[in-house]
Structure 1
């Protein structure tokens, strides 16, 4: 069996204690006299054993207290040495501080019972007040170091627990910060895509048409649309960059779009989509245009905006229908467009628009679906449908 290497400080304490005890022994200074083993050399045996226990106080605290107890008991049968007693108090203290939790709980109770038993035993034997003094000394040698060790250990455990809580709090704060950064980046990506993508898509399609057609009137019309969308897209980009730079953009933040601006959005999309053979129809079946929470209106506006952008890029010639309906506890938004091969110029898609619409709906706890469907006449359509929950209490406050 390989024993752990003693701690350097404990080894120093054991060696120093043995040297001090040897010095007292050389001057003939003993704690008691007239004992069974009154030979002069006998007091050195408990001293050496206690010094060894002192050297193992931190690496083997359970073994140290057992060996130390045997040494202090053996010291009572010799003339005794004060340093042996002092080192025993440190061994008891170390057993509570560095020992197993069970040892740390058991030692104070054991030493307390030993103190009481010694006091009662000597009081019954001697029947005088000196027995109380012996009990006090026993308590000072055993019980007091154990209680001191218990207090120190409790303080250390409390400090470790506080440090662990602080580290966990810091870790949770860092995780929250990282999640907030990711969420903000996703929100910025959705806003950037929704604000600029439709303008850039119109520019791409009309510039392709202007390059491929030789008709001056058509080219002029395409260039006019390109200029309008370029100016609008540039304004949106400047506003967004200003927001990101903490106020270096517009002095007044732009109001979030609402469904009140849906007519203007459809009119602009209608102008952009005319060369592609698309006819845009807005069907608002809501009984009242008021009473919707701002997040619901913003999400609905962005979903319609992105759906029209996708129709402009991918839809075959035909009717693009935007339908708004107020259900008992939700706002239903549905956009359908012809599904199939389209002639003329197209714009590439990245799929980010569908992801953004799905995320906006999920943030409100709604349902979203997008895909190809067949209507009653057998025509294939691409349908985007979102159901955005509306809390009745929020509606009343609005």
Structure 2
């Protein structure tokens, strides 16, 4: 209507600029539905203007010129605004996607840090608990007995020293692993094949242990070897602290799995680890991380720990 009045009284460039700017602003900053409505309305108006003028003048050339001019004045601002609006919306979507990716990356980083801290805590617990539990039990026995001869005291002190030195050595190894960068070779590798030395150390700490190995020992993947060794170490530590003697250690090698079993009598006593039971939680986590199973509990006066691990790595 405004354009018609302006044409009737005499068209001016300023008026046309005002109209085009209004159409552009409404299509760009208004609701998306309004922009689509304006596009349809201005298209119809441009076609109608050309048709009316062409009908009145009976000149197809005038019809084409008026239709094109009306399209430039009415349709072009709306289409330009819609194109810019689309680019603006795409840019906003890309920014939102980038922020989401950044948040996900931050969550992944936090999860990785948490997992690494959990692994470090588990390693430190399994590494230190065995040695220092033996030291605490032996030193307590030595201090509580007044009738020990020099030879027995010396034997106890030698075992205490051995556990201290071994604990410090493993602690240095752990620090070395934490300081490694890139693809450097591992500073150490704990193997289930070294179970005999682990059992001997517990025997020297004063614990009676019977050990049996079934099947042919085989080369295991590094994570499974470490998990089996640590589970055996923690189970022996718990037996030393809470169980009675003798303990029985069983290692069974099969083609697709290896089973580690530790039994020790409890004589019907309620067996419970102090605190939150970090040892049992750590053993269960280690077995689960390599695709194995873990069970622990008392049955008929015997506390039994059973870990069944695959012979091929299936890291969760």
Same fold (TM over 0.5): yes
Q: Distance in 2 between matches of 1:148 and 1:189?
A: 61
Aligned to 2:80: 148
Q: Any idea what SS the aligned residue of 1:121 has?
A: helix
Q: Distance in 1 between matches of 2:217 and 2:129?
A: 27
Aligned to 1:235: 169
Contact 1:209 1:222 in 2 (8 A): no
Question: Equivalent of 2:34, from 97, 100, 103?
Answer: 103
From the superposition, tell whether residues 202 and 183 of structure 1 become closer, same or farther in structure 2 (CA, over 3 Å).
same
Q: Any idea what SS the aligned residue of 1:331 has?
A: strand
* 1:367 partnered with 2:293: yes
* 1:383 partnered with 2:304: yes
CA deviation after TM superposition for structure 1 residue 350, in Å: 5.3
Q: Any idea what SS the aligned residue of 1:122 has?
A: helix
Aligned to 1:113: 44
From the superposition, tell whether residues 246 and 293 of structure 1 become closer, same or farther in structure 2 (CA, over 3 Å).
closer
Deviations 1:37-75 (A, max 9, x none): xxxxxxxxxxxxxxxxxxxxxxxxxxxxxxxxx533443
Contact 2:135 2:163 in 1 (8 A): yes
Contact 2:177 2:187 in 1 (8 A): no
Aligned length: 306
CA deviation after TM superposition for structure 1 residue 232, in Å: 1.0
CA deviation after TM superposition for structure 1 residue 207, in Å: 1.1
Aligned to 2:218: 290
Deviations 1:301-337 (A, max 9, x none): 1110110011111112x22111122456432221111
CA deviation after TM superposition for structure 1 residue 204, in Å: 0.8
Question: Equivalent of 1:309, from 222, 233, 237?
Answer: 237
Contiguous gaps of at least 5 residues in structure 1: 1-69, 375-379
Q: Distance in 2 between matches of 1:350 and 1:229?
A: 25
Q: Any idea what SS the aligned residue of 1:386 has?
A: strand
Contact 1:369 1:385 in 2 (8 A): yes
User: What value does the CA root-mean-square deviation take over the aligned residues?
Assistant: 2.4
CA deviation after TM superposition for structure 1 residue 80, in Å: 4.8
TM-score (norm 1): 0.71
Structure with the greater alpha carbon radius of gyration: 1
TM-score (norm 2): 0.88
